[in-house]
Amino acid sequence: MAEPPPNRQPPSSRTAFIEATADLMRRQGYGATAISEIVALSGAPKGSLYFHFPGGKEQLAAEAVSSAGERLRGQIAAILSSSDDLAVCIGRLIDALAAGLERSDYQRGCPIATVTLEAASASEAIRVSADAVFGSWLTVLAARMRADGLDPAAAERRATFVLSAVEGALILARARGQLEPLIAVRQELTAGPFGR
């Protein structure tokens, strides 16, 4: 079973490992994801995994959290600048998450929530990575709230509230296997007291 010693790997192996890890952890979490499964899904040579990630699964998970988080941050930023009407933007953000959840047969909710809950207590590297990702999303959301006229403290608070409501609705929707919780939160955030 000896693999040839890893040497100069093409840059794509590294990315393939991270993307496979991110996808598996999004659907089933950190604990259930085995290194062998990551290797199989990545299509990259097994021997190169510890070359790129000497910290093994924990390092892979922390980097997968960062990578998935940065991708979603870009999508959030694009959606939040898609209209002058904040409620329209928030509605579109929830619609995009709901569409992704439904398309994946309720497997793909928040890319980092599962691993955060599993590993926040056991791995400081993963906790720090998850906190940085949530922080980056909150920064984008809070900037949009400020553009809508809230002062910085209120914008930060409102951003935390909106992100929390969406994260929680994604949990409830995965449990129910239906979009209703996301639809309810969308309605409250866009047509309730906040949307008026």
- Residues making contact with a second copy (CB under 8 A): 27-33, 105-107, 109, 113-114, 116-118, 120-122, 127, 130-131, 134, 156-158, 160-161, 163-169, 171-172, 174-177, 180-181, 184-185, 187-189, 192-194, 196
Indicate the residue among 82 and 104 with the shorter CB distance to a second copy.
104
31-35, long-range: CB within 8 Å, 24+ apart, which pairs? 31/118, 33/57
- Shortest CB 120 distance to a second copy, Å: 4
- Shortest CB 48 distance to a second copy, Å: 25
SS3 153: helix
Q: Is residue 194 within 8 Å of 186, Cβ to Cβ?
A: no
| 173, HSE (Cβ side, Cα atoms, 13 Å) | 29
- Count CB atoms within 10 A of the CB of residue 113: 18
- Shortest CB 23 distance to a second copy, Å: 12
- Shortest CB 68 distance to a second copy, Å: 14
